Structure 1
């Protein structure tokens, strides 16, 4: 019997838990799911003989380390800042670790120790990052193998609401961690275009969003995602003139979110008292030192838009002009915004989300310039069995199976850019209707 330990039973864990439990009888696995919310765990594991729910305070070192010591493989779907706790324990207990999150500086500092211990810490093994790396590297290696020389690489991915459930002025609903949505783009973005390195601050990330055409969906807006340049080396495309990784949204979202940033609603540093403070008064103080006058007109004037504009409708939909009291104690603007987003943009039970990913690669082969598009669209089933959960969780589950079947010899701190990982994972993902279509120009 092999034991798998999963930390985190939130939105992204549903499909992963289903996959592990489905495979457990044949593979002879037992899965322990640890989270602070026991009822949440049980809603995902049911009464499965192959699962043990474990209520856990992740900062309880003794309890956490005991769970890790007793397992064969660890998967973490915790908030990014907490992965380091698990990573250090896995290193001490000599356990392999899988997660969908980005490699951060703290775990990067452990890179040599991980390699020396002969362990595999596979980070960025979800959707974006994850499936984007694997599908991109499969294309890149295929082009290079045929003698093609790549000169432009652009990759786009977005967690969106399905057109059938797209019924609010934001054209967006929450299918993953709301805090990450609020803080998206907080560190700005860096990318390369036509030989020049471009840098955008958070304040200007949504100023002039561009659009791309996605087959069957029409135009989607995009904004550059984090530091694209760090992946040029990982992809072995260090001398490209154009290299960009970007996030996809419906155009209306980007226009509204630009206003949210200009209002300072994503500030997560300065706390203030919110008890007895109305949303209207809060909104008024965002644009002036006094709460007098018409809040709607003040907001519009501050943003340079009409009081009847789509942006003001979006802000009203969120509840910024409500006379309800906030009553969240000491809170930041970002904390208040997160509560509004979770409440006003939540997915209803029958709502379906959608994942869209597209790679655009320009290359030259035999003196002929070619542009390739490779795209994937995945639809969710409802607000629990989401496309987001499927695309984040399944790559982790498939790799876990490969490791426990001794089909992976790779060690060290890695991301999934190598054929021995991406070929079998992408192949099995097709069994779950996660597949890419290609076109050439």
Structure 2
């Protein structure tokens, strides 16, 4: 691995969509920041909306413009849709810069891992809400359990869920503040989990809904995506036999019943049918300016050692948006800002990373979030 290219302290935040929230202001407070939008006017408008007029230099993301402004050690923040992240990684690596993005590393960024390490660049991924905050919670739980129990043989259960929706759900239990097609496609994507000690494929995630209590309130939860790679990501000891391991989505109580007609149609739809269903749902259940979103997350770990010792812990958070900013924008952009400032300070080594698994960094990042109003609750010592 090459030595880290020294960060310059200059940040290029690329993208001005809804997830570009108050975290941008935290970056502007600490680093010389350039905000890249489709046009200068759009970048200026987003700065004005966030109360940051004059806090960053607005730029238009014309072809080649970012590459011309990069100098070695700058930090590029990828706030474009995920499909645009590999191209930004190419630009960053060519300019000997660093890249931070809130989305998943695979598959678009993984091929750049070796190149980044060899050049001394950082590719820091999965540092938003989920993925992001959930990783911090998981690493903290695994570290706490190992500190209490060591790595002696044990059976372990792990579950990580989060969801967003209206703070006061209507009868449909959902509104669409972004393209419904994305949500429907996610439901059609098979999930992989560990259940009863064995890997299991769930073809239709909505058929695996179960009740889950978080903070005294009952939700509905179902698996989402491929959970299995995260067994390695979270560093669970090989001596712990995983009885269950799942990452998934939280829904308001009553979601499954309210969505039965939608799910029945979804199960039989082809690509054109999914598109038509998405168009209808967008028209009937749109988000409104007066809506306030709510984000709930729960990450749990339970361990029972072969010699009879139990340990359990849960991190949870419950955040509601306000007139200034949605909960989702806050919970994506503030953790992202923490990650950007860590890279700008030279605290992240070269190569590709999924958030951080360093115990000291995990505590530092969680402290950063708490100090900026993202308050999570820990319940442990068998309280879960």
TM-score where L is the length of structure 2: 0.85
CA distance in 2, matches of 1:156, 1:386: 20
Q: Which runs of 5+ in 1 are unaligned?
A: 270-331
After superposition, give the CA deviation of every residue in 1:137-163 in whole Å (9 maximum; x if it has no partner). 111101101225561111111122213
CA contact (8 A) 2:126 2:132 kept: yes
* Structure 2 unaligned residues grouped into runs of 5+: 1-7
1:127 aligns with 2:129: yes
Partner residue, 2:215: 215
The SS at the match of 1:126 is: coil
SS class of match (2:186): coil
Q: Distance in 2 between matches of 1:265 and 1:152?
A: 30
Please name the residue that 1:193 is paired with: 195
Local SS of the residue matching 1:183: helix
Distance 2:233 2:303 in 1: 19
Distance, in Å, in 2 between the alignment partners of 1:266 and 1:381 is 38
SS state at 2:206 partner: coil
Name the SS of the counterpart of 1:207 in structure 2. Answer: helix
| Correspondence 1:28-427 to 2 at 5 A | 29-36=31-38, 40-46=42-48, 48-56=53-61, 60=63, 62-69=64-71, 72-147=74-149, 149=154, 151-163=156-168, 166=169, 168-175=170-177, 178-201=180-203, 204-216=204-216, 218-237=217-236, 239-257=241-259, 259-264=261-266, 269=271, 332-364=272-304, 367-382=308-323, 385-406=325-346, 408-416=347-355, 417-427=357-367
Q: Distance in 2 between matches of 1:220 and 1:436?
A: 17
Task: Pick the aligned partner of 2:375 from 434, 438, 441.
Answer: 434
Report how far residue 430 of structure 1 moved: 0.6
CA drift at 1:67: 4.3
CA contact (8 A) 1:182 1:266 kept: no
4+ residue segments displaced more than 6 Å: 265-268
Structure of greater Rg: 1
Alpha-carbon deviation of 1:245? Answer: 0.7
How far has the Cα of 1:357 moved from its partner? Answer: 0.9
Whole-Å separation in 2 of the counterparts to 1:267 and 1:96:
42
Partners of 1:194 and 1:136 in 2: CA distance: 21
In 2, Cα distance between equivalents of 1:354 and 1:133: 20
Partner residue of 2:20 out of 5, 13, 24: 13
Alignment partner of 2:175: what SS?
A: coil
CA positional deviation for 1:335: 4.1
Q: Residues 189 and 228 of structure 1 are in contact (CA less than 8 Å); yes or no, is this contact kept in structure 2?
A: yes
Q: 1:233 to 1:199 in 2, by over 3 A?
A: same
Tell me which moved more, 173-182 or 220-229. Answer: 173-182
CA contact (8 A) 1:156 1:357 kept: yes
For the structure 1 residues 120 and 373, does the alpha-carbon distance in structure 2 shift closer, same or farther, using more than 3 Å as the test? Answer: same
Partners of 2:322 and 2:299 in 1: CA distance: 25
**Partner Cα distance (1:150, 1:160) in 2:** 34
CA positional deviation for 1:93: 1.1
